[in-house]
Amino acid sequence: MNIDCLCAGILFADIVCTPIERLPQEGELVVSERISLNLGGCAANTALDLAKLGVKVGVAGCVGDDGFGQFVVDTLRRGDVQTDGIHRLPGYNTASTMVINVRGQDRRFISSLGANTRMSVEHIPETWVREAKVFYIGGYLMLPGLETEALVELFRAARAGGAKTVLDVVYIGNPRSMDALRLILPETDVFLPNEDEARVITGRSNVLEQAEAFRAAGARTVVITRGENGCVLVGDSVRLRAGTYPTEFVGGTGAGDAFDAGYIAGLLWGEDESGCLRWGSALGASCVRAVSATESVFTRQEAEEFIRSHALPIDPIC
């Protein structure tokens, strides 16, 4: 089966607790109502969310030859995601994250990067690059093997074939992150960092200045997500500020990936920038209704009904 979107990048198994009242003291046990094993990682989450919308999607990345790796592959397959691009690497563990939710606070993460650190361009199927209408990399800056001229050439080839290239990042403290981005952003159609990442990478506190810094580095369109403050889009001839849809907030894990999936779906379906923001914001709003990354994300029918029923404030930025 052909694919419309190729999602390449980080793959994780997430161990997530429902919100606890406070962090435990040394030697203390604090009870969570439920602890569950869930899919995680930008590429995996975004792909599964796209599949929920009915998009034909394939995942490329690396997991270990262990139980968590089997869990990642099985979960994606059950979600109608093509997994032929997932490589199981003997001797490496599958990346995993403990997601600690404390009531009234932002999430805390403890992660092992595992097999993601071994991913290279050779793990991305060239046939999928040629087929895909959107080529998405999720977790750039956590993927040292992709910070190469070979990935730039792959993005360039995808664009030459008519695909849109989309990039998201996970910042893990590298002070040379902007240098890595300057390599790939000139071949990036849509760049999707969050505001915290953008602030640290650019050293600028103003969101518009952050977006312009990424544009100056080569990105064609920059969308900076801002959690409960919505998002900002800056492109060649359009500058937009969007608010948020009403939702019940339970946990923020995967919300950025859900936004990415909605925005990508908008690209595939011919939406303009405002339409892509509506789709991204709707999926992000649906994601935060659960503590795990993909559990509560809308199907296409649910998202269409939600978008019809709710207005998203979108205003031009002068």
Interval 68-86 mean pLDDT: 98
How many CB atoms neighbour CB 216 within 10 A?
A: 11
- Which helix H or strand E contains 94, and what residues bound it? none
Q: Is residue 31 part of a domain?
A: no
- The CATH number of residue 200's host domain is 3.40.1190.20
What pLDDT is attached to residue 236? 94
pLDDT tens, residue by residue, 160-212: 999 999 999 999 988 899 999 999 999 999 999 999 999 999 999 999 999 99
Does 226 map to a domain?
yes
User: Does any domain span residue 11?
Assistant: yes
DSSP, collapsed to helix, strand or coil, labels residue 35 as strand
Distance in angstroms (rounded) separating the CA atoms of residues 70 and 65: 8
Show Cβ contacts of residue 22 under 8 Å, excluding neighbours closer than 6 positions: 30, 102
Instruction: Give a yes or no: residue 194 inside a domain.
Output: yes
User: CB–CB of 37/98 below 8 Å?
Assistant: no
Is residue 29 domain-resident? no
* Three-state secondary structure readout of 10-26: CCEEEEEECCECCCCCC
Per-position DSSP letters for 134-179, written without gaps between them: EEEEEEETS-GGGSSHHHHHHHHHHHHTTPEEEEEE---S-TTHHH
Residue 22: predicted pLDDT: 95
Phi, psi of 274 (to 5 degrees): -65, -40
User: What is the predicted pLDDT for the residue at 318?
Assistant: 85
Beta bridge partners of residue 240, listed in sequence order: 233, 316
Above 90 in pLDDT, residue 1? no
What does each C-alpha distance from 58 to 52, 125, 136, 251 come to in angstroms? 13, 10, 10, 27
In this prediction, residue 107 carries a pLDDT of 87
- Tally of domains within the chain: 1
How many CA within 13 A on the CB side of residue 232?
18
198 domain residue, yes or no: yes
Q: CA 253 to CA 108: how far, in whole Å?
A: 10
At position 114, the amino acid (one-letter code) is: G
Is residue 25 in some structural domain?
Answer: no
Q: Which domain holds residue 253?
A: 5-20+36-316
Q: Rounded to the nearest 10 degrees, what angle do helices 195-202 and 177-184 cross at?
A: 100
The structure tokens listed for 202 are: 């650019």
53-62, 210-219, 272-281, 289-298: the lowest-pLDDT one: 289-298
Mean pLDDT of 291-297: 92
Q: Is the pLDDT of residue 31 over 80?
A: yes
Question: Is this structure's pTM higher than 0.85?
Answer: yes
Residue 181 covered by a domain: yes
The pLDDT confidence band at residue 37, using thresholds 50, 70 and 90, is very high
